[in-house]
Amino acid sequence: MKKMIVSIALTATIAGCSGGGPGKSDVEQALANHFEQGAGIRPTFEGLEVGACAKVQGGPGHACSVSGRAAFNMGGRTQRETLTGTFVFDQVGGRWTVVGAQ
C-alpha cells in the first residue's frame, strides 16, 4: 500500500511538471511543417528525441531540446541532416508551431 501511494504521488508530480508543453508527436508535426514551409520539402525524422521543455520566460511558447536526423527526399535521393538544437514551440490556431530557435 505504501509503495502504491508513493507511486501515485510521483506520477502526479511528474504530470504536474509538464507545464502544458508539446508532446513528441506535436514537436515532430511542428518541425515537419516548419521545414516544409522553409524548404518546400516535408522531411521524415530518424531517431527524433525530444528532451526537456521549459516555458519561455517573458515570451511565448516552450523551448524544447531536440536531436535526431531529418531526411529529405529530393528526386529519389535522400539527404539527411543532423538536427540538434533548442526550438521554441507555441500554439498558433490550436496547433503547435515552431516560432523560433535558440
pLDDT at 102: 83
- β-strand partners of 50: 66
Residue 7, SS3 per DSSP:
helix
Q: Which three cell numbers stand for residue 45?
A: 525524422
Determine if the pTM surpasses 0.75.
yes
Q: Model confidence over 25-46: pLDDT tens digits?
A: 999 999 999 999 998 999 999 9
Q: Containing H/E element for 65?
A: strand 62-74
Residue 58 has pLDDT above 60, yes or no: yes
d(CA 84, CA 48): 10
